[in-house]
Amino acid sequence: MSAISNFDWIGLLGHFLLLSLMAVGGALSTAPEMHRRLVGHEGWLSDADFNASIALGQAAPGPNMLFVALVGWHVGMNATGGLLQGWASWVAAFMGATLAMLGMLIPSCALTFVASRWGHHNRDKRGVRAFKQGMAPVVVALLASTGWLMSAAHRDEPSVWRLWLMSVLVMFLVWRTRIHLLWLFAAGAIAGVMGWV
């Protein structure tokens, strides 16, 4: 992949600025859109990079939205042609991560800052309640959709059936039990290292 021009840096920032305002119910609900644009349309990062970003973002402590920084990191890294380019690619990767985070945070934070007092005082208003309840099923489905897209990314792997099975099993455990998520990541990592999946 060749270097991404200046214009594309602005495009990357713009993409996250737009996504930020659509992130109702959390940053993860924009993951399908991010995947569509950055992986499918622009080809700025691979399915594997994208999945690794979400996996690390979830496994690491902190808000889930950190996967956004990792996505930006991968885009920046790819933009300069990967690790072989030395320090230039590190700079680009950090720039990608920073731009992605800023893009994801600035609009929604500005809106929150302005709207939170208003929303707080009007939480019983019919419009606010309608928005909240109407969006609830959309948010739920976007989470399921993120899971689906991440699993579909495995379609070329030789172990695709096992990966699907493991995802379904984890989905069931998370849904029905209160098992600590870190155990599940540890199990997934071990299964991967041992070559079971």
Partner 1 sequence: MRHLFHPDDSTMLARLLRISYALQVGLGALLAYLLLPIDDTPARIVLGAVFLPLFLQALLTLTSVSLSASGWSGEPLTKTQLLWRIGRLWIAEWKAAFTVFALRQPWSRRAPSIAGPLVSSGGRASAIPVLLVHGYICNHRVWDEVVSALRRRGHAVLAIDLEPVFTSIDNYASQIETAVQTLRSSTGSDKVALIGHSMGGLVIRAWMRACGTQHVHRAITLGSPHQGTQLAALANTPNGQQMRWQSPWLAALAEHETPETRERLHIVFTDADNIVYPQRSQILQGAAVTTFPGLGHLELCLDPAVVTWLCEQLDDPADEAKQHAQHASPAAPQTTMASESLLRPRRPADLFWAFSWIALQGFGGVLAVLQRELVDRKKWLTQTQFVEDWSVSQILPGPNVVNLALMMGDRYFGWRGSVAALSGIVIFPMLLVLALAVFFSGVSDLPAVQGALRGMGAVAAGMIAGQGFRLLTSLSGNVLGAYRAYAVALATFIASALLGLPLVWILAIVGVTACVTAYVLLGQQPHDRRP
Residue type present at position 118: W
The count of residues in the chain is 197
Task: Decide: 100 and 71 in contact? Cβ < 8 Å.
Answer: yes
User: Smaller CB distance to partner 1: residue 3 or 129?
Assistant: 129
Pull the structure tokens for residue 56. 């690390």
**# residues contacting partner 1 (CB under 8 A):** 119
Rule CB under 8 A: which of 112-131 touch partner 1? 112-113, 115-117, 119-120, 123, 126-131
User: Minimum distance from CB of 49 to partner 1 (Å)?
Assistant: 10
- What residues between 65 and 94 interact with partner 1 by CB under 8 A? 65-66, 69-70, 73, 77, 83, 90, 93-94
Q: What does each C-alpha distance from 136 to 5, 64, 141, 156, 180 come to in angstroms? A: 39, 19, 9, 34, 25
Footprint of partner 1 on 93-112 (CB under 8 A): 93-94, 97, 101, 104-105, 107-109, 111-112
- Which one among 3, 10, 21, 91 touches partner 1, defined by CB under 8 A? 21
**Residue among 4 and 153 whose Cβ is closer to partner 1:** 153
159 binding partner 1? (CB under 8 A): yes
Query: Rounded distance, CA 139 to CA 152, Å?
Result: 20
CA distance 88 to 80: 7
Reference 74, options 88, 55, 94, 57; nearest CA is 94
Site for partner 1 in 164-193 (CB under 8 A): 164-176, 180-182, 184-185, 187-193
Q: At which residue do the structure tokens 């993951």 appear?
A: 31
Among 11, 24, 42, 81, binds partner 1 (CB under 8 A): 24
Nearer to partner 1, 1 or 170 (CB): 170
- 3-state secondary structure (DSSP) of residue 184: helix
Residue 1 touches partner 1, criterion: CB under 8 A: no
